[in-house]
Amino acid sequence: MAEKKSNLIEKDSVVVRFAGDSGDGMQTVGELFADASALLGDAIVTFPDFPSEIRAPAGSLPGVSGFQVHFGCTSVMTPGDKADALIVMNPAALKVNLRELEPKGLLIVNTGSFTAPNLKKALYETNPLDDPALEDEYTVFKVDINALTAEALKDLPLKPALRARCKNFFSLGIAYWVYSRPLDMTLEWIETKWREKLPMMADANTLALKAGFIVGENKDISLPQYSVHKRILEDGIYRKITGNEATALGLIAASENSWRDLVLGSYPITPATPILETLSKHRNFNVKTVQAEDEIAAIGVAIGAAFAGALGVTTTSGPGLCLKSEALGLAVITELPLVVVNVQRAGPSTGLPTKTEQADLLQTLYGRNGESPVAVIAADSPSDCFDCAIEAARIALKFRTPVVMLTDTYLANGSEPWKVPEVTDIPDISVEPIKQGEAYIPYQRDPKTLARRLAVPGRPGFEHRIGGLEKTENGVVSYDAENHETMCRLRAEKVQRIADDIPPLHVMGDPNGKVLVVGWGSTRGAITMAVERLQADGEFVAYVHLRHLNPLPKDLGELMKQFDHVVVPELNLGQLSLVLRAEYLVDVKSISKVQGRMFLISELVAGIKEYL
């Protein structure tokens, strides 16, 4: 290899974005870049940006796929507002993603794909690489990745199409050199994936990766090189985890620590399907997964499992939650513990199925017939999905109620380092069973929680009736008007008593002042960094983040009254704002965004400043 350049540029954190056609392997190299950074101990947050079409025409604007990695030694809580470096594989990727690059940021362009047909598909009338303004605004590095990949692999007996598929590893090699990432882990990954079944592809991708790295080392090429400061980590075992993986592992932990089998009834839907796929690999933990024929059957499986004494779970996204609404009402009236994971996506209907949104809150709270309250909680980061899944199961079992756990596309597909907890630190969420020989009354309630007693059917002395018809506390079908109102009020009060079982709110900043920012779900990272920036500038702003959305924390109402303004940033048109206004009669202001994209920190700083 050529002699290495000197004069590394030191950075605290960096944002890199890979972009190309959906067949260019950008998700693969993005994940590998994130893995290499995590191995170095960097804090990372990733953002996979999938196209909505299954396979849009190659080179077209709708077919562009991107992957953004934010890594560094400082607090990294979002994928980053703008990229410090953008690697584009074709004209369409440049057109879609150039706005994501910081001014004077590093732009690495695969010139080999800037052909007349590709420029036409990307709706360019002329080649943008010939425009001097591009080099005035950005640090542009032009390299024919197509040709150099083919040259690196010329001695391998591969068809040209297979050689071309290795260009993503060539681009990854360049990125590794620019940001001083090690090749070792990726070389090992290539060996594991291809050596046994496709040894030629293992050789090809290895050569392509190393060839891209050598391009950076070439002293005749003016390509900058950066080094990121080391991060100090607590001792422990770490792994990179996505929100969907964390949700699946959290459900397994909840099953183990409640001493119940886990039964998942699920129908595949983007972006929740990976939870089903992950759980199906863990049958050794008494996990049973059923891929049902539709959303209604899926929740029916979960309700039946809950009736039989298992931890019943169903997973879905917004359109699927709508289809489950009738059966969710059945779980409410039967008062069975049920966990529903709703991985929100941009709607309505199919909408933007691979983009993120928080617009299912009102549906989750109110989208059923009759008086049918459910508990609702929301995860705030990919790794938090683990703890949130356990909390959802805990509430469901303790209060004998359905619990909807809200995540979203950003959390589901995004990843971050996760310190694997000690098994002994995971709480026991088991509930005391009814002993054989005890008199069993189906709707007899715990005086503190109002949770009804559960019995596994089929055991002597525990025969009982439940179902969609209203019952008395003895489990007898009743059409009595007063009894129906009594039972409706009991079910509602039971859910409200969950508020007695959740911790006080943590306020970031002074508990009174000019502006209180209230957030929920995946907006936590962006809001935290925006508030930190404002507080550092001396602004009187505080922040509280909600995990429990129904019931709301008992101290929230009084807290909001201590501030001149209450501001709620959310990825919808103001749904939580509407709930808080109705619940507390406070003039809540909304900062809304419905673009299928996360908030930028700069957007929130500007939005909050309006009230300062």
Other C-beta atoms closer than 10 Å to the C-beta of 267 total: 24
Question: Which pLDDT score is estimated for 5?
Answer: 52
CB neighbours of 431 closer than 8 A, spacing ≥ 6?
A: 258, 397, 398, 454
CATH number corresponding to 507-609: 3.40.50.920
Domain 239-425 and domain 507-609, same fold? Reply is yes
Task: Choose which CATH entry (3.30.930.10, 3.40.920.10, 2.40.50.100, 1.20.1560.10) describes domain 9-228.
Answer: 3.40.920.10
Distance linking the first and last C-alpha atoms of the chain: 56
Question: Which pLDDT score is estimated for 1?
Answer: 43
Query: What pLDDT, in 10s, does the model give residues 180-228?
Result: 999 999 999 999 999 999 999 999 999 999 999 999 888 677 899 999 9
Q: How far is CA 227 from CA 10, 183, 210, 532, in A?
A: 5, 15, 19, 25
Q: How far is CA 279 from CA 135, 262, 265, 333, 491, in A?
A: 49, 9, 11, 28, 31
* Alpha-carbon span 26 to 246, nearest angstrom: 23
Q: CATH homologous superfamily for 239-425?
A: Thiamin diphosphate (ThDP)-binding fold, Pyr/PP domains (3.40.50.970)
For the chain, which residues make up each domain, given as ranges?
9-228, 239-425, 507-609
Average pLDDT for runs of 10 along the chain of length 612: 64 97 95 94 94 85 96 92 97 97 97 97 97 96 97 95 96 97 96 94 97 87 89 90 98 97 98 98 97 98 97 98 98 98 97 96 98 98 98 98 98 96 96 86 94 89 90 94 97 98 97 96 98 97 98 98 98 98 97 97 97 94
Question: Which pLDDT score is estimated for 6?
Answer: 56
pTM of the model: 0.94
Q: Which helix (H) or strand (E) holds 413?
A: helix 409-413
Tell how many helices (H) and how many strands (E) occur in the chain. Answer: 22, 22
